[in-house]
Each structure stands twice: as structure tokens, then as C-alpha cells.
Amino acid sequence: MRSVLFVCLGNICRSPMAEGIARKLAAGRGLSLEIDSAGTAAYHEGERADPRTREVLARHDASFDGRARQVRPSDFEAFDLILAMDRQNLADLRKRCPAAYVDKLHLMLEPVGGGDVPDPYYGGPDGFDTNHAMLVEAVSAWLDRIEA
């Protein structure tokens, strides 16, 4: 079974959204995949996902029931793919990742043209809808690659 870790800054907005979407889309494809998410920072360790993330997921028949956690050193060995929501997250991961595993690190939007999934934390609810649409497209493209 393959595995993917989604990473953002706080693990309460973007990466839990990606995790909820990936769980739904992988199940819909009958794809067996281990899915988790984490943050580069520990500010929100142990907290539930932002209510705005949970609301968008619920509206799209998905959910995230986990608790925020920071990226751990063991994640770099444990996961096959580690997908960063923005270039800052990717740079932070690269600093911590053992050289043997750096090829596992990618930008979330790489298969759909690159760029960042914007941090929605200080914005309005629209940001969460925009992110959801971006993430559905990007997660689908990653699942295509995993299945190929």
C-alpha cells in the first residue's frame, strides 16, 4: 500500500482539507492508500481542524476528524509522497528532510501547473471554497499519478 502525507503550516486548514478530499476520492476509486496530514509548525498541536475547513468538507460529502500535529522526523521515511501546500512549507520540509528522502517532497499543485495553495487562515470563507476547488483538482491529478 502506498502512502501520502499532506503538509501545510498549521495542519488546521489546508492539509486537513486535502486529507479529507483524498480519503473521499481514493475510496471512490477503490484505491488503497494511507493518508495523513501534518503542519510544519506546532501552533495548533492537538486541535481539531478549523471550522471553516470542516464546513467546506461537509458540504462536499467529506470530513476530517483528526487532530493537528507537527511533522515528525519519522515522517520522511514513513511516507512515499510528502506534498507541501506552498513554497514556504516545501522550503521548511527540505531543511528538515534527510537527503535520502528529498525526492519524496513535492508541491501540492505540481501536477496542475505549480504555485501555492494560498493560506486561508486570516481571510474570509471564500478562500476555503477556492482552496477546496484547487485541492480537488490537484488531489485527483496525484491519484492519477499514483495509479499510473
Which residues of the chain form contacts with ligand 4NP (CB under 6 A)?
Answer: 8-14, 43, 119, 121
Locate 148 and state its grid cell.
499510473
State the minimum distance, in angstroms, from the CB of residue 56 to ligand 4NP.
Answer: 12
Catalytic option among 36, 50, 86, 119: 119
State the minimum distance, in angstroms, from the CB of residue 32 to ligand 4NP.
Answer: 27
User: Among this protein's residues, is 119 annotated catalytic?
Assistant: yes
Task: Calculate helix-pair angle for 51-59, 14-29, nearest 10 degrees.
Answer: 20
Nearer to ligand 4NP, 11 or 23 (CB): 11
Q: Are strands 81-84 and 33-39 parallel, antiparallel or unpaired?
A: unpaired
User: Among this protein's residues, is 14 annotated catalytic?
Assistant: yes
Nearer to ligand 4NP, 14 or 132 (CB): 14
Which pairs from 90-97 meet CB under 8 Å and 24+ separation? 92/40, 93/7, 93/40, 96/71
Catalytic option among 13, 14, 54, 97: 14
State the minimum distance, in angstroms, from the CB of residue 13 to ligand 4NP.
Answer: 3
Task: Return the residue nearest ligand 4NP (CB atom).
Answer: 10
State the minimum distance, in angstroms, from the CB of residue 110 to ligand 4NP.
Answer: 18
Nearer to ligand 4NP, 132 or 147 (CB): 132
Question: Which residues are known catalytic residues?
Answer: 8, 14, 119
